[in-house]
Each structure stands twice: as C-alpha cells, then as structure tokens.
C-alpha cells in the first residue's frame, strides 16, 4: 500500500491511521478494512474498498430471504 489508510476512531473522536490493516469482506459481501488505532489501540473499521482489497478475492454471497411483515 502506498498511502496510509485512515478510519474514524470512536474513542479518540478523530480520523486516525490504521495499524495492521486487514482487508476482508462482511457476510453480506461489503468490503471492510479492520485494524487498530495508531494512538489508543482500539479496533477501528473502514467500510469500502481500499488498495488492500486488490489481492483479496470477493467471496460468493448467497441472497438472503426477505422477512414478511
């Protein structure tokens, strides 16, 4: 990664650099990057595709059944 990935830290209440970023996908298929805050060490998550997702294949997602009200 050429640039540093940042995400909002709820504990610091500021955008912080992500230490040890890990690109992954949620069970619904959305791209996320998880890591720790560079200042306080809290787990932070950035939603959306980043440069780190280039080498991670997107998993197949099965459509969920809708709930009837």
User: For 12-48, how does the pLDDT look when each residue is reduced to its tens digit (9 = 90+)?
Assistant: 999 999 999 999 999 888 999 999 998 999 999 999 9
Residue 2 has pLDDT above 50, yes or no: no
Rounded Cα–Cα distance for residues 55 and 40 (Å): 29
Token pair of 68 as six digits: 């009837």
- Position 3 scores a pLDDT of 67
Residue 59 has pLDDT above 70, yes or no: yes
Distances from the Cα of 29 to the Cαs of 5, 24, 63, in angstroms? Answer: 20, 9, 10
- Position 10 scores a pLDDT of 95
Token pair of 41 as six digits: 């060490």
């Amino acid at each position: 990664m050429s640039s540093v990935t940042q995400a909002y830290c709820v504990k610091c209440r500021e955008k912080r650099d992500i230490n040890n970023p890990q690109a992954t996908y949620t069970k619904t298929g959305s791209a996320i990057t998880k890591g720790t805050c560079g200042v306080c060490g809290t787990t932070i998550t950035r939603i959306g595709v980043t440069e780190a997702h280039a080498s991670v294949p997107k998993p197949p997602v099965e459509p969920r059944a809708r709930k009837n009200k």
